[in-house]
Structure 1
Amino acid sequence: MPASGKDLVDLLDLDEAGSDSFLGRAARSSRMARTYGGHLLAQALMAAYRTVPSGRPVHSLYASFLRGGDAEESVRYDVTNVRDGQSFTSRRVAGHQCGRQIFELTASFHRDEAGYEHQASMPRVPVPRDAVPLVDALEHVDLDTKSFWREEWKALDLRVIQEREVAAQAAKKGGVAGGPPQPSRERLWFRVRDPLDSQEAALNSCLLAYMSDLTLLSTALRPHGYPFLAPGVQRATINHSMWFHQIVPADQWMLYDKSSDWAGGSRGLATAHVYSPTRGMVATVAQEGLIRPHGVHSAQPAPVRSLHAS
């Protein structure tokens, strides 16, 4: 996976592959068998941006993950011009790999307009320097998992809030279903680790889409006693939606305030708000994903958890 901010930017430098078609390169190296979902989100959104008139930043997207992609193969993104209106522009992007469609994204872009404004305030949380680096929070998980996260996500600075205590409690129960339930809300600071030279809206919104797929689905497992990345669960993103309220530089700290109000039928739903400490609400995210017990856990009856306000 990208080892630096420059590698991330290079990943979004798509090659032209015909009229309204673009080729997105695979990550230079990865231990992941399947293409990371944020990789597809970011490249597909950049492909759409390549066909949109200037001055129209993205305001929403909806993506469906149709098949698992091969992390070592490039992806071709074919863009369909759905509509160019006076204020809004719509694009549909199909991602193909090895002759099969694996991904689809619909995005809408909107020129800046003045209008009514309101937003929820950012929660009061510890500042990033007082949060726990994600890799350190994984000290209670096996060393291979910790090594995986250190290698794969070194381009990003990820810091969790109160995760050390959560991991310690779950580790005592072996990280299996039926362990101590945790609150269905989780908060994470994130940013691109290296300073970026560009303030371009397209680049920074694509980088936010790249980061938005990280850790979100795991929030749906907290009420069931699974610590972050615990074994015993097959995880996969099914669909992912984002609403961009403003564009901020991706190398600045943003708070990912995540929660999950429902899980059932081996699926979980998680929603989140992204905040900038200096500029307020940046984005809203929703994701549905597969959280299927497997191995010895698949034979265990899954307890029904009732959620209470925290």
Structure 2
Amino acid sequence: MHVPDGFINAPVSAAAGVVAAGAVAVGLRGARRELDERTAPLAGLVAAFIFAVQMLNFPVAAGTSGHLLGGALAAILVGPYTGVLVIAVVLLMQGVLFADGGLTALGVNITVMGVVTVLVSYALFRGLVKVLPRGRRSVTAAAFVAALVSVPASAAAFTLVYAVGGTTDVPTGKVLTAMVGVHTLIGLGEAAITMLTVGAVVAVRPDLVFGARGLRAPLKLRVNGELVDAAPDEPADTTPAGSPKKLWIGGLVTALLLAGFVSFYASASPDGLEKVAADQGFDKNVEEHAAADSPLADYAVAGVDAVRLSGGLAGTIGVGVTLAAGTGVFWAVRRRRGAGTGAQV
């Protein structure tokens, strides 16, 4: 759902940029409370993983494809504040290096694909986790529902932005119906990817999943015939199933394989927004991307004629750059938290 330049007029794009900048600023402050020495590297990996999976367009209807937005996945794995930053990093790398998503529309994309998806999905996720029985299955089920709802919510948010600042005269009702309809189907794919990924991480390191913190029920002891909570220092088997380093390496290898190899087999059909824009006619004013001459534009390496090799190299480079940028940002946020803590002592 990357919005290109030309769909939204300059004043509304600028206003969306202000909203996005404010959300990123709030995210930076909130992420200081969410990140620690274990989760900061994970946040960078999540950004790289989402970049990779977004290259995997999957068919959802005749002539239409969809791809992961990632807001729900990021929020559940590393927290809502950090989740907004994760999506912002991914969109910035895609826009600047790969000419994917307009540069003047960057604020629109961060707001619609990042802020809205994170807020909607995490609020719904937390609500479901509270009412469902405590356990891993509840976390994965809540992740599925939250991710599913977040995608049509994002589509509705785009339609609202279009209604205010669209550059073509197309009835908003038609845009809303078409956008929500196709993105509900895309949401099913988003939900499946999010559920499987969250479930895989929860299975090996639930302590690293922000949305699963407190998942383990307190140890119960029977005293005089009654069950009571054990004292916090009671011995219990809380050893994680795998080390953070192994999880990080496994996630990185998976991201590289997806972007460098599996992406070649992704659907070539236009995604939901592109298809709706073409069908409804509000793509008439689309502008050429300012980074169209980038050596990595359209996820291909300039000068490499072999299509498969070119796309694989571009995907691999994208994963590496996004990982480096994301990890740098999140380590800097983590260090500022440590510096602030030290200043208060």
Normalising by structure 1, report the TM-score.
Answer: 0.24
Q: Which is richer in strand?
A: 1
Higher Cα Rg, which structure: 2
Highest RCO, 1 vs 2 (Cα 8 Å, sep ≥ 6): 2
Normalising by structure 2, report the TM-score.
Answer: 0.22
